[in-house]
Amino acid sequence: MNVKNSWRLIALSAMMLASASCGKDDSDDPAPDKLFGGEGNVLIETTVKNSDGASGQSYLQQIPQISSSVNMSQGIQIGFSATISTVGNDVFVFPEFGTAGKQSIVKYEHTPKGLKLAGEMQIIPNSYPVNLTKISEDKAYVPMYNLGKVLVINPKTLEKTGEIDLTEYAFNDSSADPAQGLLHDGYYYLPFDQIGANWMPYDEYRQVDVAVIDASSDKVVKVISEKASGLCFPTRPFLKDMIFVNEQGDIYVACAGYFGYNPEYVKSGFACISASKKEFDESKTWDISDTPIEGCDYKPATIYNCKYIGNGKVAAYVGVIELMGDNPYTARNSMAVMIDLNKKTIKKIEGVPYTDGHSVVIEYHGGEVLFSSFGVDKAGIFAYNPATEAVSHLMASSVNIAYLHFFE
Amino acid sequence: MRLTMRLLPALMFLSICSFAQNGTGKIKGVVMDDSGDEALTGATLIIEELKIGETAGKDGDFSFSGLKASTYTVSVDYMGYVAQSKKVTVTAGQTSQVNFYMKAEPLSLAQAVVLGKSEARKVREQAMPVSVISMKQLQGTVSDVQGILAKTVGVTVRSSGGVGSASRLSVRGLEGKRIGFFIDEAPMNDQSDFIDLNDIPVDMIDRIEIYKGVVPAKFGGSSMGGAVNIVLKEYPDHYADVSYSRESFNMNQAQTVFKRNLREAGIVFGIGGGYTDAENSYTMESPYVKGLKIRRDHDRFRKTLFGGSLKARKWWFDKVEFEPAFVHTYKEVQGIETDIRKAHTTSSMFVISNKLEKDDFFIEGLDLDMSSAVAYSEACLVDTAKVWYDWVGNSYPTSSIYGGELGNRFASDSKNIKKTFVNKLNLEYLINSHNSVSINSVVTLANGSPSDPMKEKSLGKKTDFDSRMRSWVGGLTHDFRAAGDKFLNSLTARYYWYSTKTKYQNVYTNTPAEDISINKSSLGFSDAMRYRITPAFMAKLSGGYDVRIPAENELLGNGYTIIPSEKLLPERNMSINAGLLYDVAGTHPSNLQVELSGYYMYLKDMIRFAKGILGAQYQNFGEMRTLGAELEVKADIFPFLYGYGNVTYQDLRDVREKEEGSNLPNPTKGKRMPNIPYFIANAGLEFHKENLFGGKDQNTRFFADMAFVEEYLYDFEITDDVKRRIPRNTTIDLGFEHSFLYQRLFISGKIKNVTDAKVLSEFNQPLPGRSFGIKLRYIFR
């Protein structure tokens, strides 16, 4: 080897060392006033899933309006299928399934020009805080699914101010799996999913439990149970509208049952709580699994999501056993329907494609019901007009839209 | 060879000057190995005072004549043997007799390098793309095989923690089971996992061959992205090697090898073993909680390894070899998100392997090479703690009443028994001096019997079932070698078949378990060629269409952390590799080797490891394209300074047109594949000098290695602000080795990660910072 070659080799080594020393700034701390997530008054969460459907990546961003297609370049990366809660202009982002990724709740503040990082709160790892319900200006409840407790926080400062222990109500394990709650008339109604190791209800405990909590004292007034209907799994914890109040003040709790994965047990539907009595009203509780879906030959085997739009009408995604595939996370087994709670009818909405579990958002905005759907040929946001029953494809997307919110 | 190279010009010059002289005497004798059985033909002899030389003849004989009466120093040198010198007095008119009995010296630095290089060179000049790590690179630089591989061009090794932690070997961005792992060409992980890369003590390794893209047919099996073949040393008649090393974070390791060669009986037997105990108690920064420093206190790893070997060369076969081995490991599970205090795994494995080799097997020109192995293994996970802890010390009850602190929602007390048989057969027939054909076959039988009563109780159902997998890969190869070794071509066709039987229980339902029966077959082919432009300059071109059948634990999981994926499809790879090699190792003092390679791969139904809600799983990933380039330079910059440098660029991209199972455009089309490094560079220098600090029979080596991995993303780069990333890593390791008593006693030390850089190679899995190690080794021979 001649001297020239020797120097070349040495130079190569030196270059590598030099290049290595010019490290990137790995800091995650942004400038305080930096805005993220793009401009607009519409907040969406998108998910790009892996082929197994059980893993992938999700993004939070703002868009000006629901139209044409989604550009994700401005998206803020969040945990895969992370839950979002919004209160006014505050946006709370929860950890990925509570057990992976960053163990914190991150708060952003919405501005039309972008989202501003407004705080971060460390959580107990693996506790699965899953949603936030505002109780007052300085109090919010955050159910911790895996711990069976409710974290009481100040949503302004993201400080813990208390805790409501619900572990005594757990069946056969340490957590009653508190899901999506609703504040009504000073009481916080918090359903328990009561699931086993396989994330499904215990076969020997098919009932609906709801804790009634006095929101002023943070005390559990009682836990009410509905056992007659056989309904179970009341509310999915990351979907905010599966518990709602109608014009008469009755609280309806949508129950997913076994998500249609147990063909031998498909009971699912709505458990009704009379708010005045704070007890279940069995006459209004409805197992929808025996009701044919108008417009097709199927019956529902579960409710994946729903949105009450008034007058006893509920826009929903129901699961159909005949559409189940091999993979529960990718099967397009969800059908958009309109449910009439008064008439106890279910009608298929034609024009909204069957979707998978990552696109089941339903919002009611501007007199139209907006469904996110991830169909075989079309995906994005579909608008259904309840008056005309017409459906239009408002926004195209090649990724799942997992959350949708309109800021006032 | 270095010594030979130095001597040859002197010999040539002096032999011209030598002529008959009067009043002179003569020296004659023989050069034999120390047993006296083997003549060392070609040994170089030199009379130091006269600088005249001679070469030992066919029977080891030599003679010097026309020598003036005097006392001379006769030195002898032969590759692989300890050089010797003797004083000989020559009397006028007489012949003085002197015989040399030389001791084998495979570990002598200079000669071992020559041996390593000559073998390595042969391998490197094959038509397939291959990197060879010779003994010279192996000596002393790092403590384990993974560390050595990680510095090789085109290879990455990704670890999740300290000693004994899970790690992944990747060649050209492809990893897992598609990278074949062989010891002396016997498959170790074809369908099952017999042994870990790091189970092999570096001191026992002669060289490591890393095949990339197209793997020679003789390795059979279904290696797709590449193969690693570890070639173990041949030992002298009597040999014992004892070593002990201690490293930071309370890592202690002892290893020993004994070998005995009964030359008369043609039998070599040996026994060896090792014990490793590592606490891995390094402090890491929590990736989940800002500012939280965690001292790893539940990451202990213990491994016991025993092995034996009986090799016979006179039992009709040219070589019959039996090797029993036993490996036991205990590994605690270190928490990162939570403070795991009890969960651990254990595994035990018994294996006995047999190797048969015979040239002219019944027919002249037909060579047999067959290896078989039977293994029994047990893998257990114990996760029954009833509480789990956060990093503040608060305890919480586990989700299941049966326990389980790993966050699985169920307890585990599993025992996963696996019985495996693997047979590899290679029959090569030499048609003439230019053509040969060979038939290859690899048969694997694997039966799994998992049980986990705690998981069953927690879930209320059985989810792990007995499994049976059978596979056969058959190959037919034609090799052509042109006159003068100018051109080589190797054409291979392969047939792949596998069947699996088991049951599958949907974890969500209580419906009866479903019977799974899979029976699939495929065809593949490859061609590799090499053209020698000049003796030192070669061009290589190879291409192939390979199929890799899913491995048993990819299909059926491992009984605890990996859940079944029984519908996994075989993956298919089309690849083209082109390379230029300039290699004067062994023929020029610089020993310069420069290799530039480029490649293209198109992988369909790629089998990919992904973590999901209910656990990790292997899954098919549509289509992926890779373009890559590699450059490697190695040379003796000075006689006392060896240097190497390599750069790898591998660009793996998603090329699926449509989103899986739909007609929607694929949002990640054209994006770089996530969680795979794309730019890697390594460089190193090694200084060596004999008797640097005075004395005699000592050798000193200092080395410095640097590894660089550019930042890469854990996810597809969909937005401008991707948060999950594996930061740029640069590590520098320093070390020394000093040997006494002519390479019998070694003391070595090292500092890994000198700059104490924060290093990750798996997302959110911090690796140790700066660490120190010292090793003491003695060789009896």
What ranges do the domains of chain A cover?
3-406
In the sheet that holds B167-171, the strands lie side by side as B155-159, B167-171, B174-175
Q: Which residues contact A15 (CB under 8 A, 6 or more apart)?
A: none
Q: Do B460 and A197 touch (CB under 8 A)?
A: yes
With cut-offs at 50, 70 and 90, classify the pLDDT of residue B4: very low
Mean pLDDT across B738-764: 88
Tell me whether A292 touches chain B (CB under 8 Å): no
With cut-offs at 50, 70 and 90, classify the pLDDT of residue B108: very low
At B307, which amino acid appears? G
Min Cα–Cα distance to chain A from B660, Å: 7
DSSP B151: T
> Residue A121: closest CA among chain B residues belongs to which residue?
B289
pLDDT at B139: 62
Min Cα–Cα distance to chain A from B703, Å: 14
Structure tokens at A138: 């300085």
At B772, which amino acid appears? F
Chain A residues close to B720, C-beta within 8 Å: 73-74
Interface probe with A: pick from B594, B640, B664, B685, most Cβ of A within 10 Å: B664
Min Cα–Cα distance to chain A from B359, Å: 41
Is the per-residue pLDDT at B2 higher than 60? no
With cut-offs at 50, 70 and 90, classify the pLDDT of residue B80: low
Nearest Cα to Cα of residue A386 among A298, A305, A315: A315
Considering chain B, what is the average pLDDT of its residues?
83
Min Cα–Cα distance to chain B from A312, Å: 32
Q: What is the pTM of this model?
A: 0.82
**CA distances to A64, A231, A306, B683 from A43, in Å:** 9, 33, 19, 49
pLDDT at B384: 96
Tell me whether A29 touches chain B (CB under 8 Å): no
Q: Give the residue carrying structure tokens 């029984």.
A: B566
* Between B153 and B123, residue with greater pLDDT: B153
Q: Do A261 and B681 touch (CB under 8 A)?
A: no
Min Cα–Cα distance to chain B from A201, Å: 9
Tell me whether A71 touches chain B (CB under 8 Å): no
Facing residue for A262 by CB, picked from B509, B617, B668: B509
**CA distances to A339, B134, B637, B739 from A3, in Å:** 84, 24, 8, 30
Chain B residues close to A56, C-beta within 8 Å: 715
Interface probe with B: pick from A16, A49, A175, most Cβ of B within 10 Å: A16
Give CA–CA dist A83/A60, Å, rounded.
10
pLDDT tens digits, one per residue of A44-92: 999 998 877 888 889 999 999 998 888 888 999 998 899 999 999 999 9
Give the DSSP H/E element, type plus range, for residue A358: none
Q: Do A51 and B730 touch (CB under 8 A)?
A: no
Helix (H, G, I), strand (E, B) or coil at B10: helix
How far is residue B741 CA from its own chain's centroid?
A: 30
With cut-offs at 50, 70 and 90, classify the pLDDT of residue B124: low
Contact A144, A132 (CB under 8 A): no
Which range has the worst mean pLDDT, A63-72, A228-237, B303-312, B556-565? B556-565
Name the H helices within B565-697.
Answer: none
Structure tokens at A314: 């509920």
pLDDT tens digits, one per residue of B597-654: 999 999 998 887 776 655 677 878 889 999 999 999 989 899 899 899 999 999 999 9
The maximal CA–CA distance of chain A, rounded, in angstroms, is 95
Chain A residues close to B728, C-beta within 8 Å: 20, 23-24
Highest mean pLDDT among B218-232, B381-395, B514-528: B381-395
At B505, which amino acid appears? Q
Is the per-residue pLDDT at B715 higher than 60? yes
- Phi/psi at B145 (5° precision): -65, -40
Give CA–CA dist B625/B199, Å, rounded.
34
Give CA–CA dist B45/B85, Å, rounded.
9
Facing residue for B659 by CB, picked from A20, A259, A398: A398
Nearest Cα to Cα of residue B301 among B315, B280, B317: B280
Is the per-residue pLDDT at B403 higher than 90? yes
Rg (CA), chain A: 23
Q: Do B635 and A263 touch (CB under 8 A)?
A: no
Nearest Cα to Cα of residue A118 among A148, A88, A97, A146: A88
DSSP B5: H
Contact B471, A224 (CB under 8 A): no
Structure tokens at A200: 């499904």
**CA distances to B274, B374, B671 from B326, in Å:** 11, 12, 45
Is the per-residue pLDDT at B752 higher than 70? yes
In the sheet that holds A114-122, the strands lie side by side as A35-36, A114-122, A104-111, A90-93, A84-87
pLDDT at A15: 42
DSSP A408: -
> Residue B504: closest CA among chain A residues belongs to which residue?
A326
DSSP assignment of B295-317 equals E--S--EEEEEEEEEEEESSSSS
Give CA–CA dist A86/A407, Å, rounded.
9
Architecture of domain A3-406: 7 Propeller (2.130)
pLDDT at A252: 98
Chain A residues close to B668, C-beta within 8 Å: 48
* Residues in chain A, total: 408
Cα end-to-end distance, chain B, whole Å? 23
Q: Do A97 and B613 touch (CB under 8 A)?
A: yes
Nearest Cα to Cα of residue B757 among B748, B767, B747: B767
Structure tokens at A57: 């990546």
Helix (H, G, I), strand (E, B) or coil at B37: coil
Exposed, middle or buried: residue B668 (CB in 10 Å: 0-12, 13-18, 19+)?
A: buried
Nearest Cα to Cα of residue B628 among B652, B645, B608, B611: B652
Nearest Cα to Cα of residue B765 among B122, B159, B41, B143: B159
Chain A residues close to B730, C-beta within 8 Å: 17, 20-21, 23
pLDDT at A13: 43
Strand-pair partners of B535? none
Structure tokens at B443: 């048969």
**CA distances to A299, B588, B620, B635 from B685, in Å:** 72, 19, 42, 10
Chain A residues close to B408, C-beta within 8 Å: 197
Contact B329, B277 (CB under 8 A): no
Q: Do A197 and B458 touch (CB under 8 A)?
A: yes
Q: Do A10 and B643 touch (CB under 8 A)?
A: yes
pLDDT tens digits, one per residue of B165-175: 877 777 888 77
Min Cα–Cα distance to chain B from A360, Å: 17
Cα end-to-end distance, chain A, whole Å? 74
Name the H helices within B92-176.
Answer: 109-124, 135-138, 145-149
**CA distances to A78, A154, A399 from A94, in Å:** 8, 16, 20
pLDDT at A6: 43
Mean pLDDT across B278-302: 91
pLDDT at B620: 82
Share of chain B above pLDDT 90, in %: 35
Facing residue for B645 by CB, picked from A13, A126, A175: A13
Taking only residues 222 to 261 of chain A, the set having a beta carbon closer than 8 angstroms to any beta carbon of chain B reads: 258-259, 261
Q: Is the dihedral of CA B97, B101, B107, B112 positive or negative?
A: positive
Q: How many Cβ pairs closer than 8 A exist between chain A and B?
A: 219
E strand intervals along A228-360: 243-245, 250-255, 269-274, 279-280, 286-287, 293-294, 302-310, 313-319, 334-340, 345-348
pLDDT at B290: 80
Structure tokens at B751: 């500092």
Give CA–CA dist B132/B127, Å, rounded.
14
Q: Do B728 and A24 touch (CB under 8 A)?
A: yes
Taking only residues 179 to 208 of chain A, the set having a beta carbon closer than 8 angstroms to any beta carbon of chain B reads: 196-200, 203
pLDDT at B524: 87
Q: How does pLDDT run along chain A (408 residues), one tens digit per residue?
A: 444 444 444 444 444 444 434 444 444 556 668 899 999 999 999 999 887 788 888 999 999 999 888 888 899 999 889 999 999 999 999 988 645 577 899 999 999 999 999 999 999 988 899 999 999 999 999 999 999 999 999 999 999 999 999 999 999 999 999 999 999 999 999 999 999 988 899 999 999 999 999 999 999 999 999 999 999 999 999 999 999 999 999 999 999 999 998 888 999 999 999 988 899 999 999 999 999 999 999 999 999 999 999 999 999 999 999 998 777 788 899 999 999 999 999 999 999 999 999 999 999 999 999 999 999 999 999 999 999 999 999 999 999 999 999 998
Structure tokens at B771: 């660490």
Q: Which residues contact A168 (CB under 8 A, 6 or more apart)?
A: none
Is the per-residue pLDDT at B109 higher than 50? no
* Residues in chain B, total: 781
pLDDT at B612: 60
pLDDT at B744: 86
At B624, which amino acid appears? M
Q: Give the residue carrying structure tokens 């929903």.
A: A316
DSSP assignment of B684-733 equals EEEEEEETTTSSSS-EEEEEEEEEEE--EESS---SS----EE--EEEEE
Tell me whether A163 touches chain B (CB under 8 Å): no
